[in-house]
Chains A and B, each alone.
Chain A
Amino acid sequence: MSKPELWVIAERRLDHVEPTTQQLITKAKHLAGDHFKVITILLEATADHLENELTAYGPDEIRIVRDDRFPTATDAEHADALKQLVDDYQPNSILFGATITGRSIAPRLQAKLQTGLTADCLDLRFDDDTLVATKPSYGDNIMCEIICPDHRPQMASVRPNTFVATPAPGDAKITTATVTVHPVDRLNLTTARPVVNTATTVGDANRVVALGRGAASAATIDTATKLAEKLGGRIGVSRPLTDQDRFTHDDQIGQSGNTIHPELILNFGISGAVQYLVGMQDSQTIVAVNADAQAPIFDVADYGYVGDAQAFMSALLAQFN
């Protein structure tokens, strides 16, 4: 029998905690109710104190395993350590961030535990003690609800930025646990260095000027770039525009990856395919400009203008100037 523990596996990102961890703690607290304890599992070096970045989010407990190998441990070594903890504590469910690290360690642990794992989830809920994980597939066109009825622990990885981290009261009791680290000598991490990544994704922007098929000309893109600058934001595009050389996956909204929720998004010439709408509908203020009054984008917008995207954009830019 598993115990009513809901685990969030903390991920280390260089010298800090990866933000998805805090997002998951907030979500886990909502899910837990009175039924579960939210336990954050933190594997860190003996001198580290990454728990200081977690206490404010109010997990019931932060369970720390300290070993100097962890900051450079391989996926298999991480999975091995987590397997020992699972054997010792028998949690009901385990949540990972669906980061590259999370998506590498979680399935390895899953195989050790011979249990179910649902990857890259966009929502989670409990039916009694069964975790119902909502996972997109077919490039976010389809949502699947997946359960793991007969195996414990239940496992899920959650897409970064799906939930918002909110500081909350909670015991945040700090405890320690021990495992035996079994070094795998057939795989060695020889170097690890931070990548100065200047390329931001559209998910990082707080204001987005989004362009679709109806706003794809060079002149329109030029105007949109100026408008984005004025707003202190960034351009994003719907799928058809990723065919243009100047746009990449990092600029794309809504398909397999960039789920965004900026405080303001202006949609130009975007009719609103389902996966696009789902990818941006949590934005705080949504504005849509489209020549077609029937375009689905208007269903999810706060403000809408039926007309030519370029003309409206130019008028708006003129107001700012």
Chain B
Amino acid sequence: MPSTTAAAEKLLLQMVDDYTAREIAPQDMPMDAAGDFPAGFVQQLTTTGFLGLMLPQEFGGAGFGPEVTATALNHIARGNASTAVTLEGHFKTIDQILKFGTPALQQQLLPSANDRIFAFSMTEASGGSNPMGISSTATREGDHWVITGDKIMITNGGLAQVYCVLVKTAPQELSVFVVDQDMPGFSFGKREDFIGLRGTPVGEIVMDHIIVDDDHLLGKLGDGGMIGDSAHDDARILMGAVLTGIMEHELKIATDYAKERKAGDKPLTKLQVTHRKVADIAMRKETTKLLYQRAAQLKAAGRPYSEEAAMAKAHGSRAAVSAGDDTLQILAGYGYSREYPVEHLIRDARAMEIAEGTVEKMRSAIANAEFNK
């Protein structure tokens, strides 16, 4: 098999840019308005081969590595952050099956990841930040497991067909199983009506005595907390990439506008107040980019990347909200108008101060990593 080369990555990004400009970016505003995406959009992502971007070639995917995968999501997010986040949810789930699934489970499931969306679900109504507080369970009955419980606020929930679910296998034991929407006892629940990333479906699944065999367990019994952390780490790199894309979009709107407009006789580009804002947006964008790329490099090199991934998301989410705010202020009345995408970019960015661990949790993780050095 050919290796991933710089030439292949260049072609990939060229294709991603092309496809984003023509097909994905034009859907951004309509998706936000509708709180949904058009029929056939998943089919589009399938046909284009985006779903298999980082899936190893042995499973029918393209097998691109962590760095260029993150860069690809960065580029997609320049035109449409929701679509990039849908792919982020899919990729982080595939990553956990690759890390913790048995070869047999991988063979069984992963080829379908080229045309089915995968999702990873942890949160329950009892709260997202306290895994031990969940009430979903998998209980042993004979030679199989019976899974029961509700999972909410799942990225791609309702859209995905395959779900990794965090459940209790004992009062103080968390484990992750893989379930499929076609299994008896599986149903979809409520769909969230969020204020941002409105083109990414987020919803609930209900598991009522779903029966699975041992081979649907990821890792070992009790590995659930660790697998959940791992999924967060992988997601946070990609979110740093998505946030970079949002800031690149904001920066372009701000500079395009400043280059065309005047305040009185003076072009906006000659005003120091514009300089300050544009420079800040650019610095926030660039620092976030460096952080996610650094985390992706460490991941590609097989080294620990948890802290850097947390930094990319914690820094990037606030940075993108602030950059959006500055962009809005440069555009003034136009920025506050729904006709321009600025307000919607702020709402999109704001989601990432919450999803995949709040910024507060992220700061604790970073601080603890520093204490342990």
Do the two chains bind?
yes
A-B contact pairs, 6 of them (CB 8 A): A213-B260, A214-B260, A291-B260, A291-B262, A292-B260, A292-B262
A292–B260 Cα distance when bound, in Å, is 8
Interface residues of A in 207-255 (CB under 8 A from B): 213-214
A214–B262 Cα distance when bound, in Å, is 13
Interface, chain B (partner A; CB < 8 A): 260, 262
A291–B261 Cα distance when bound, in Å, is 8
Interface residues of A in 292-316 (CB under 8 A from B): 292
Interface residues of A in 279-293 (CB under 8 A from B): 291-292
B262 proximity list for chain A (CB < 8 A): 291-292
A-B contact count (CB 8 A): 6
A261–B260 Cα distance when bound, in Å, is 28
A214–B260 Cα distance when bound, in Å, is 9
A214 proximity list for chain B (CB < 8 A): 260
A92–B349 Cα distance when bound, in Å, is 68
Closest 5 CB pairs of A and B: A214-B260, A291-B262, A292-B262, A292-B260, A213-B260
A213 proximity list for chain B (CB < 8 A): 260
A292 proximity list for chain B (CB < 8 A): 260, 262
A38–B260 Cα distance when bound, in Å, is 51
The smallest beta-carbon distance between A220 and chain B, in angstroms, is 13
B260 proximity list for chain A (CB < 8 A): 213-214, 291-292
The smallest beta-carbon distance between B365 and chain A, in angstroms, is 43
The smallest beta-carbon distance between A174 and chain B, in angstroms, is 55
The smallest beta-carbon distance between A272 and chain B, in angstroms, is 14
The smallest beta-carbon distance between B52 and chain A, in angstroms, is 30
User: For residue A214, which residue of chain B has the nearest CB?
Assistant: B260
A42–B265 Cα distance when bound, in Å, is 61
- Against B, the Cβ 8 Å flags (1 = close, 0 = not) of A162-205 are 00000000000000000000000000000000000000000000
The smallest beta-carbon distance between A194 and chain B, in angstroms, is 34
The smallest beta-carbon distance between A217 and chain B, in angstroms, is 8
User: For residue A217, which residue of chain B has the nearest CB?
Assistant: B339
User: For residue B256, which residue of chain A has the nearest CB?
Assistant: A213
The smallest beta-carbon distance between A181 and chain B, in angstroms, is 47
The smallest beta-carbon distance between B337 and chain A, in angstroms, is 11
A213–B259 Cα distance when bound, in Å, is 13
A291–B259 Cα distance when bound, in Å, is 12
The smallest beta-carbon distance between A305 and chain B, in angstroms, is 16
A291–B260 Cα distance when bound, in Å, is 9
A292–B261 Cα distance when bound, in Å, is 8
A320–B262 Cα distance when bound, in Å, is 31
User: For residue B265, which residue of chain A has the nearest CB?
Assistant: A293
The smallest beta-carbon distance between B129 and chain A, in angstroms, is 44
A180–B260 Cα distance when bound, in Å, is 63
- Against B, the Cβ 8 Å flags (1 = close, 0 = not) of A257-291 are 00000000000000000000000000000000001
A292–B262 Cα distance when bound, in Å, is 8
The smallest beta-carbon distance between A34 and chain B, in angstroms, is 54
A213–B262 Cα distance when bound, in Å, is 16
A291–B263 Cα distance when bound, in Å, is 12
A30–B207 Cα distance when bound, in Å, is 86
User: For residue A218, which residue of chain B has the nearest CB?
Assistant: B339
The smallest beta-carbon distance between A176 and chain B, in angstroms, is 55
User: For residue B267, which residue of chain A has the nearest CB?
Assistant: A292
The smallest beta-carbon distance between B31 and chain A, in angstroms, is 17
A292–B258 Cα distance when bound, in Å, is 13
The smallest beta-carbon distance between B111 and chain A, in angstroms, is 38
A214–B257 Cα distance when bound, in Å, is 11
A293–B175 Cα distance when bound, in Å, is 68
- Against B, the Cβ 8 Å flags (1 = close, 0 = not) of A2-30 are 00000000000000000000000000000
A291 proximity list for chain B (CB < 8 A): 260, 262
A23–B89 Cα distance when bound, in Å, is 63
A172–B28 Cα distance when bound, in Å, is 63
The smallest beta-carbon distance between B28 and chain A, in angstroms, is 14
A37–B182 Cα distance when bound, in Å, is 83
